[in-house]
């Protein structure tokens, strides 16, 4: 199949194409069998994450001054897209990119100097990001986990849910409440971001793995008087919600790229199967009932990809991109899910068989509509903040 122009992005196609090819080469060392096996065993894909770390691609967003590649979000998104397109799941390691939006912008020079070179060298993993709580759900400004200052440290108490990769990380970015909700006039204030060094608090954190429909290493995390040095507070106390929001646009664009990668994987597999599988004496792809849904899903994935590159370009030019980042996430997750269903239909009964990997990717891609933010909340953002409609919640 011819490579589409949009694959390389709207500008500098050569440099970006080189990134694609290098990531593809690395991913070929981790074929379907590898991902099937870790999925079945519920294991963390440590060998893959180690190889990706050694390649330097996980440090794409870390500035060169701190030992990273200093690439833009566009390039970072291409890396994650290619991982997912290869049949892998970037969910094992993408938080190291997500968290950069907050750390690079709001972390102090001292914090960046202390952690970024070691993250870039692969000595430290920053793969955990702790925001969600059971009682507050999508309403982040209602979180209840507290961080109370005692001298030169904060004492953290509370509970987080769905916190991924805590056991596989050295560092965790944490959002906690530093001012009680009822004392605030502006409810977006009173939350603070901390970089928790998990090596110091292992044994003090109670980490309970969750069994989920996909291999994601998510946990319920209980904090009881967990000490975090005040030097690990990012930015100013009470402004953490703002700092996390700054990371959200990057997160949505990166996740959109992962969904695009999945969408292309499903289209590739569905088209290949449609050409090869012969029933009633001809390839099933000759039937419009099979062919047209694949073509339709393909068009939707490609259209979503244009919004992803548009959003990423705005982000890299430091232009406002909240609307574009949210639309990219919405369109890409919808397109990937459409492609997933089309692929499953194309494979018939074999779509349910583990050996074909469609069912695994089907489970993995479904997450994009829900996490890290559900598409309903994306629509609420577009309706209210972009279109000026009344707030629906």
Ligand X SMILES: Cc1cc2nc3c(=O)[nH]c(=O)nc-3n(C[C@H](O)[C@H](O)[C@H](O)COP(=O)(O)OP(=O)(O)OC[C@H]3O[C@@H](n4cnc5c(N)ncnc54)[C@H](O)[C@@H]3O)c2cc1C
**Residue closer to ligand X, measured from CB, 155 or 371:** 371
Give the pair of three-digit tokens for residue 279. Answer: 């029933």
- Tokens, residue 281: 């004496």
Q: Rounded to whole angstroms, how far apart are CA atoms 211 and 249?
A: 29
Shortest Cβ distance from residue 222 to ligand X (Å)?
15
Minimum gap (Å) between residue 389 Cβ and ligand X: 13
State the minimum distance, in angstroms, from the CB of residue 174 to ligand X.
9
Least CB distance from residue 317 to ligand X, whole Å? Answer: 28
- Are 339 and 357 a contacting pair, CB within 8 Å? no
The least CB distance from residue 369 to ligand X, in Å, is: 8
Which residue number, 215 or 291, has a Cβ lying nearer to ligand X? 215
Pick between residue 142 and residue 310 the one whose CB is nearest to ligand X. Answer: 142
Which residues would be at the binding site for ligand X (CB under 6 A)?
A: 129-132, 137-138, 162-164, 212, 216, 218, 367, 370-374, 376-377, 380, 392-393
CB 361 to ligand X: min, Å? 15
- DSSP tally for the chain: helices H, then strands E: 13, 10
Nearer of residues 270 and 336 to ligand X, judged by Cβ = 336
Q: How far is the CB of 52 from ligand X (least distance, A)?
A: 18
Least Cα distance to 98 among 233, 260, 263, 253 occurs for 253
- Whether 273 contacts 356, CB under 8 Å: no
- C-alpha span between 103 and 111 (Å, rounded): 9
Complete DSSP assignment for 104-167: HHHS-HHHHHHHHHHHHTTSS-EEEEE---TTTTT-GGG---EEEEETTEEEEEEEEEEEETST
196: part of which helix (H) or strand (E)? strand 191-197
Rank residues 39 and 305 by Cβ distance to ligand X and give the closer one. 39
For ligand X, the closer CB: 133 or 302: 133
Beta strands 191-197 and 126-130 are unpaired
**Nearest residue (CB) to ligand X, 185 versus 392:** 392
d(CA 314, CA 121): 29
Q: Which of 26, 29, 28, 37 is nearest to 360 (CA)?
A: 37
């Amino acid at each position: 199949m011819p490579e589409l122009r949009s694959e390389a992005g709207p500008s500098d196609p050569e440099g970006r194409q080189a990134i694609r090819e290098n990531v593809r080469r690395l991913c070929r060392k981790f074929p379907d069998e590898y991902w099937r096996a870790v999925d079945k065993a519920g294991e963390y894909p440590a060998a893959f994450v180690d190889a990706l770390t050694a390649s330097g691609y996980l440090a794409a967003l870390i500035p060169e001054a701190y030992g990273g590649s200093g690439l833009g979000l566009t390039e970072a998104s291409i890396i994650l897209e290619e991982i997912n397109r290869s049949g892998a799941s970037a969910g094992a390691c993408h938080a190291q990119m997500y968290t950069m939006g907050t750390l690079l912008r709001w972390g102090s020079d001292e914090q960046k100097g202390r952690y970024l070179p070691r993250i870039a060298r692969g000595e430290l993993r920053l793969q955990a990001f702790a925001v969600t709580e059971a009682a507050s759900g999508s309403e982040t400004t209602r979180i209840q986990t507290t961080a109370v200052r005692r001298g030169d440290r904060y004492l953290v108490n509370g509970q987080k849910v769905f916190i991924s990769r805590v056991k596989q990380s050295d560092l965790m970015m944490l959002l906690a409440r530093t001012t009680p909700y009822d004392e605030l006039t502006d409810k977006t204030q009173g939350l603070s971001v901390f970089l928790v060094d998990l090596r110091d608090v292992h044994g003090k954190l109670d980490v309970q793995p969750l069994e989920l429909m996909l291999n994601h290493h998510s946990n319920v995390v209980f904090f009881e008087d967990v000490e975090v040095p005040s030097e690990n507070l990012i930015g100013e106390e009470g402004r953490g919600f703002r700092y996390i929001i700054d990371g959200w646009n990057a997160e949505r664009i990166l996740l959109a790229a992962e969904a695009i990668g999945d969408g292309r994987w499903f289209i590739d597999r569905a088209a290949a199967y449609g050409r090869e599988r012969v029933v009633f004496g001809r390839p099933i792809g000759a039937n419009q009932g099979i062919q047209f849904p694949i073509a339709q899903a393909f068009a939707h994935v490609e259209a979503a990809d244009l919004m992803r590159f548009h959003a990423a370009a705005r982000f890299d030019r430091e232009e406002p991109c909240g609307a574009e980042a949210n639309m990219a996430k919405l369109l890409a997750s919808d397109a990937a899910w459409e492609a997933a269903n089309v692929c499953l239909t194309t494979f018939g009964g074999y779509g349910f068989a583990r050996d074909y990997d469609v069912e695994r990717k089907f489970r993995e891609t479904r997450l994009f509509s829900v996490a890290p933010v559900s598409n309903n909340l994306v629509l609420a953002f577009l309706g209210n903040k972009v279109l000026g409609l009344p707030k629906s919640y």
